[in-house]
Structures are given as structure tokens and as C-alpha cells.
Amino acid sequence: MASSKVSPHDKFAAGLSPDEKTLVTLRDELYGGSWDQMLGDLRDRLKGKPYIFKL
């Protein structure tokens, strides 16, 4: 019989809230998976500087 063991990654992902899942999706689709680019863009918004995407 095959084992149906859940990986730690799958367990973590399943525990994310809908808002957290949306944040990860935005990071992947708008910033090519880069948290650094996303964070820089958000910081620029807060400072009133030009930013990459209008949300």
C-alpha cells in the first residue's frame, strides 16, 4: 500500500489564509517570485515614489 504522507511544504501551504495565498500569488505573477522586488515596490508606494504596479 502506498504511503500518503504529506510533505512539510504542502502542510505549510495548506495552512495559509486566503489573504496570504493571494500575497504569494501576487509575488509570483507580478514580481517573478521575488520578495525583494515586491517589498521594494511596497516601500516606494509608502514613500510616494514611483512604483511598478497599481493595485
**How large is the average pLDDT for residues 36-41?**
94
Is the pTM above the cut of 0.85?
A: no
DSSP state of 7: P
Q: What is the pLDDT of residue 55?
A: 66
Mean pLDDT of the chain: 90
Tell me the mean pLDDT in the region 22-44.
94
Interval 19-40 mean pLDDT: 95
Cα angle 35, 41, 42 (rounded to 5 degrees) comes to 90
> Rounded distance, CA 28 to CA 21, Å?
11
Residue 54's pLDDT is 73
Sign of CA pseudo-dihedral 16, 20, 26, 31: negative
> In this predicted model, what pLDDT tens digit does every residue of 9-23 receive, in sequence order?
999 999 999 999 999
What count of other Cβ atoms lies within 10 Å of the Cβ of residue 38?
A: 19
